[in-house]
Structure 1
Amino acid sequence: MIRTIESTPYTDQKPGTSGLRKKVRVFQQPNYAENFIQSVFDAIADKDGATLVIGGDGRFLNREVIQVAIRIAAANGFGRVLVGRGGLLSTPAASHLIRKRSALGGLVLSASHNPGGPDEDFGIKYNVANGGPAPEKVTDAIHARTLTIDRWLTVEGGDIDLDTLGEVTVGDMTVEIVDPVADYAALMETLFDFAAIRAAGLTMAFDAMSAITGPYATEILENRLGFAPGTVRNGTPLPDFGGHHPDPNLVHAHALYETMMGPDAPDFGAASDGDGDRNLIIGRGRFVTPSDSLAMLAANAHLAPGYRDGLKGIARSMPTSAAADRVAAKLGIPAFETPTGWKFFGNLLDAGMATICGEESAGTGSDHVREKDGLWAVLLWLNILAATGKSVDAIARDHWATYGRNYYARHDYEGVESERADALMADLRGRLAMLPGTAIGDLTIETADDFAYHDPTDGSVSRNQGVRILFAGGSRVVFRLSGTGTSGATLRVYLERYEAARIDEDTGAMLADIVAAADEVAGIVRHTGRTEPDVVT
């Protein structure tokens, strides 16, 4: 029987670039998760008899919210819900399952790379039928509904067994518990030469960070590709990610970095994040930035079976370095610069205008799904290593010798008071017209703007996507506020310097003058009180 539960709106349920993310304690408020899920269902059409995918990264509150979501889905007329066993589905695997099973969409329960646990973060994101994050017109409709909602619907019944494969009935709806790994692993076997990787004799270390990628990496790397048992570290998903921050960068995956810089390092090192859509790539003695990884993967993708026919185009987010643009130019294919957020890539992928996409925040992927995909990037790197017989360091050096090197770093100032961060950006935007021609040390500002994106597929315009300061000679700095945090604001400052011939210098030294210029032009210390970033990647 369908029950109607009266409710009142919460005013803080506007989805960000990756859904609604808040502290667990916020989601535990009466009707909070229920209101948002019902608002999603109220905002979408064609639910009657449709299929819905539900799964998450296993963080604290994952199972409880899945049980609630199943009953709300049944009350709203869905005909079938697919749930990953244990409530688990990586974000790329959820995208693939939505596409493979022709689902109307899916609820992905994750706060991505944010910490998990009773005092940490939780999130709910709605993905549409193409498998990608809901576009702005959908998230705007969801937000509008959260402000007027006065009830949510559910069906009578207790919790179902999420750990046993098979089908059960909830109300008039079928709930199918599926293997979260099998379909995704089968897809990877169609894209990459598993036999060649097995035969290459490579050694590797993979840190799953006690997050969702553990079961996927164990099945694919150890069981199907034959890497030694123990290759996958921290392979069991834990509700609190083992008390660690599941962000695959040099700060939070430092143990892996130490392994790869040590005397007995394996050939290849990699890590993934909370929900499995980001990646960290480290060779023996060589860290590869996400921006460089995108460019190198694009330049060598033809070595993998799934990409032998070439690429249709390469897309990168605006803050990502221009290294991939140089690859696109050599290949004679389009290069697209989009705002941050994978949904912008989805339109290009659906239109057949791009094949490989990437973001500096360690997200890389292709047209096989409509999300970034951490393990996909790892497997393409392994395929390239197997096909070339070269090390990661050799591939990087060869690439820079061909294309030049974009020295690049991102400085994150986390937990800045929102008012201070907003004031910094407002002040900077107010001075953009006056900045061209300004000299800062040896640098001269050539252009300064607030990035606006005109989508070539649907004509939509996204404004205020980040402030760009471009210096004469090709260097630049970008300022933007992140939409992935749950408290305060994160100011992200992106620093880039292009060198055609000086390809083996220290990144910090090469960017020192741009770091100084960034503070002078934006007044970071003056506005935030911070004298140095919290995280450098």
Structure 2
Amino acid sequence: MVARPTQPIAGQKPGTSGLRKKVKVFAQPNYAENFIQTVFDVVERPENATLVIGGDGRYHNRTVIQQAIRMAAANGYARVLVGQGGILSTPAASNVIRQYGASGGLVLSASHNPGGPDEDFGIKYNIANGGPAPESVTEAIYQRTCEITEWRMVEADDIDLDTIGTTQVGGLTVEVIDSVADYAALMEKLFDFDAIRAAVAGGLTMSFDAMHAVTGPYAREILEKRLGFAEGTVKNGVPLEDFGGHHPDPNAVHAHELFETMFGVAAPDFGAASDGDGDRNLIVGKGIFVTPSDSLAMLAANAHLAPAYAGGLKGIARSMPTSAAADRVAEALGIPAYETPTGWKFFGTLLDAGMATICGEESAGTGSDHVREKDGLWAVLLWLNILAVRKQSVAQIAEEHWAKFGRNYYARHDYEALPTEAANALVAELTASLASLPGQSFSGLTVAEADSFGYTDPVDGSVSLNQGLRVLFEGGSRIVFRLSGTGTEGATLRVYLERYEPVGGDLAGHTPDKLADLITAADAIAGITRHTGRTEPTVIT
């Protein structure tokens, strides 16, 4: 074992999804090593612990994985399970941690952010339940980064990450495992593959865009090999270190080819995509885009059609910025609905306590209690299960859902790479104005309430404050303002716009038209143009 002297490096505070920076930052001497050592120093683990390591295949993954293995050997781990080729989707990593009784795992990903030598990289630690480390752990990691004096490794050559098998590194047993097999087997237990295969044989067609990201191998194994969709159903299926030069974020901007296909003359019945690390999803029917908020609600309303959920749901949880569409489903089912801060770790305690079964975020993340991460392919397969059983189109399912529950017109406007000072000034000014907003009118909308969202976990009692600024209007519409922690440059302001149209109202409107007054009100309330100089968002989802 070799101890390498080091000193604290500023800025290693993990956010909601771990530590994310540019590759060139992570490639600096001691940068990744410092952070990994602090994780090993503070996380709970038993004697002879197992560690899972894998990532989304982006540039720099292999380098960090090799170093993490040498460091795990020097820090007392007994076994490391690493995905073949260094690849594990985030939900697959969660499953491996749970299935093999690991004490935790290092997930190397910057999720939906671009990859390549000049782009983004990230490291996240998941705990023994398979979920992201809670704030108590990430705070302990950060405090340790401020005082670290050395990191430890064993001298050893790189291992062969591409061949399944076992290697010894010092006293550590390293097992390279099939990245796909365990996950695919789990999906086959959850869903009615026979029904889906029958629907495919009967003519059901789809297009899946893997975006040259981690889900390519998983999607080809499950969709084409096990379910029988035609070869070529999975597009951009080979993971690339730079995602083919594209941005692996499944939305209308970055998955525009899928949208063009699904809104074209010869569109297949169902379209879907996933992101860099496989935890997000995009759902598009023939001529219809299903927002992540609506998808969560529709999946929850129909989950009983899949074997794993035939006995009903224990509860539904959503992040605060996600629309309230799922709340109406929970009410109809007579089950609890939970509103949490953004970040999948907040769902973990609810899932572990058996209080919720299905969870979702407006940022295209949906999942259930089968793992402790959001899961893009899981959502796609549940949609396929529903389509196979109901024998209806996506549009028909959506229209019937809105006719029963009403419709939450919804969009998110992202203002990316803002100067941090400008973004902070906007939030500070808006926060100071919250108390004076009720009773004021903007674009014909009267403010009923305004607050800074705080959350007390119903399981462990932990408190999370300042999780987003909410402006609620009379009639059920609302705007949420929040600074995101998933970017690596400047600040990202997310503005969430929601208008509820009750049963019997205009349920077939055009979303931008239905949200026009809220868009105008958001700028008037927060001074977006005045603070940022931006007159349009960078991305609308």
* Segment of structure 1 superposing worse, 46-55 or 436-445: 46-55
Amino acid aligned to 2:128: A
- Residue from 500, 515, 527 that aligns with 1:511: 515
Q: Does the 8 A contact of 2:280 with 2:364 survive in 1?
A: yes
Distance, in Å, in 2 between the alignment partners of 1:130 and 1:505 is 42
1:184-206 per-residue CA deviation (whole Å, 9 max, x = no partner) reads 00000000000100101310000
The residue identity in structure 2 corresponding to 1:157 is: A
Q: Secondary structure at the match of 2:515?
A: helix
CA contact (8 A) 1:47 1:78 kept: no
Provide the TM-score with structure 2 as the length reference: 0.99
Q: Does the aligned pair in 1 maintain the 2:443–2:518 contact within 8 Å? A: no
> Could you tell me whether the CA contact under 8 Å between 2:213 and 2:277 is conserved in 1?
yes
Q: State the partner residue of 1:400.
A: 402
Partners of 1:187 and 1:48 in 2: CA distance: 28
Partner residue, 1:376: 378
Alignment of 1:459-474 (within 5 A): 459-474=461-476
Q: Distance in 2 between matches of 1:440 and 1:493?
A: 16
Return the alpha-carbon distance in structure 1 between the equivalents of residues 234 and 44 of structure 2: 42
Contact kept in structure 1, 2:44 and 2:103, CA below 8 Å = no
What is residue 106 of structure 2 aligned with on the other side? 107
In the alignment, what sits opposite 1:309?
311
2:47 & 2:287 partners in 1: Cα distance? 55
Task: Name the amino acid aligned to 1:466.
Answer: G
Question: Aligned runs of 1:45-444 on 2, under 5 Å?
Answer: 45-46=44-45, 48-201=47-200, 202-444=204-446
Tell me how far apart the structure 2 counterparts of residues 521 and 9 of structure 1 sit (CA, whole Å). Answer: 41
Contact 2:103 2:127 survives alignment (8 Å)? yes
SS class of match (2:138): helix
Alignment correspondent of 1:481: 483
CA distance in 2: counterparts of 1:486 and 1:88, whole angstroms: 22
Q: Indicate whether 1:451 and 2:450 are aligned.
A: no
Q: Distance in 2 between matches of 1:457 and 1:38?
A: 30
The answer to whether the Cα contact below 8 Å between 1:55 and 1:94 also exists between their aligned partners in 2 is yes
Deviation at 1:386, TM superposition (A): 0.1
Instruction: List per-residue Cα deviations over 1:447-480 (Å, max 9, x = no partner).
Output: 0000000110011110000000000000000000
Counterpart code for 1:465? Q
Deviation for aligned residue 1:47: 5.0
Distance 2:392 2:429 in 1: 49
Deviation, structure 1 residue 11: 1.1
Do structure 1's residue 534 and structure 2's residue 538 form an aligned pair? yes
Distance 2:74 2:475 in 1: 60
CA deviation vs aligned residue, 1:69-90 (integer Å, no higher than 9, x gap): 0000000000000000000000
SS at match of 1:372: coil
2:389 aligned partner, one-letter code: A
Cα distance between partner residues in 2 of 1:209 and 1:283: 18
- Across the aligned residues of Structure 1 and Structure 2, the Cα RMSD in angstroms comes to 0.5
Distance 2:353 2:13 in 1: 28
**Cα distance in 1 for residues equivalent to 2:44 and 2:514:** 52
Partner SS for 1:134 = coil
Q: Give CA-to-partner distance per residue, 1:27-67, whole Å, 9 cap, x none.
A: 00000000000000001133531000000000000000000
**Distance (whole Å) between structure 1 residues aligned to residue 443 and residue 175 of structure 2:** 63
SS in 2 for 1:411: strand
TM-score scaled by length of structure 1? 0.99
Deviates more, 1:321-330 or 1:39-48: 39-48
Please give the per-residue CA displacement for 1:154-200, whole angstroms capped at 9, x wherever unaligned. Answer: 00111000011111100101000000100000000000000100101
The 8 Å contact of residues 48 and 76 in structure 1, kept in 2 or not, is answered as no
Instruction: Give the secondary structure class of the aligned counterpart of 1:449.
Output: strand
| Structure 1 residue matching 2:125: 3-state secondary structure | strand
**What is the rounded CA distance, in whole Å, between the counterparts of 1:388 and 1:439 in structure 2?**
44
Letter in 2 for 1:292: D
Distance (Å, rounded) in 2 between the aligned partners of 1:5 and 1:175: 23
| Count, aligned residues | 536
Alpha-carbon distance between aligned partners in 1 of 2:46 and 2:195, rounded to the nearest angstrom? 44
Q: In 1, Cα distance between the equivalents of 2:494 and 2:43?
A: 33
Alpha-carbon displacement from aligned partner over 1:219-259 (angstroms, at most 9, x marks no partner): 00000000000000000000000000000000000000000
1:520 pairs with 2:528: no
Tell me the secondary structure at the aligned position of residue 276 of structure 2.
Answer: coil
**Shift of residue 414, structure 1, vs aligned partner:** 0.3
TM-aligned CA deviation for residue 441 of structure 1: 2.6
Secondary structure, in 3 states, of the residue corresponding to 1:60?
coil
Show CA shifts across 1:347-373 (max 9, x none).
Answer: 100000000000000000000000000
Conservation of the 8 A alpha-carbon contact between 1:98 and 1:131: yes
Q: 1:376 Cα shift?
A: 0.1
- Answer whether contact 1:82 1:177 (CA < 8 A) is retained: yes
- Looking at structure 2, the residues matched to 55 and 467 of structure 1 have their Cα atoms a distance apart, in angstroms, of 35
List gaps (5 residues or longer) in structure 1: none
Contact 1:47 1:76 in 2 (8 A): no
Work out whether residues 432 and 448 of structure 1, in 8 Å CA contact, stay in contact via their aligned partners in 2.
yes
The Cα of 1:510 is off from its aligned counterpart by 0.4
| Contact 1:366/1:372 (8 A) holds in 2 | yes
8 A Cα contact 1:47 1:77, kept in partner: no
Match of 2:496 among 484, 494, 497: 494
Alpha-carbon distance in structure 1 between the residues aligned to 2:114 and 2:241? 10
Q: Aligned equivalents of 1:48 and 1:27: distance in 2? A: 30
SS of the residue corresponding to residue 431 of structure 1 reads helix
Q: Deviations over 1:376-429 (max 9, x none)?
A: 000000000000000000000000000000000000000000000000000000
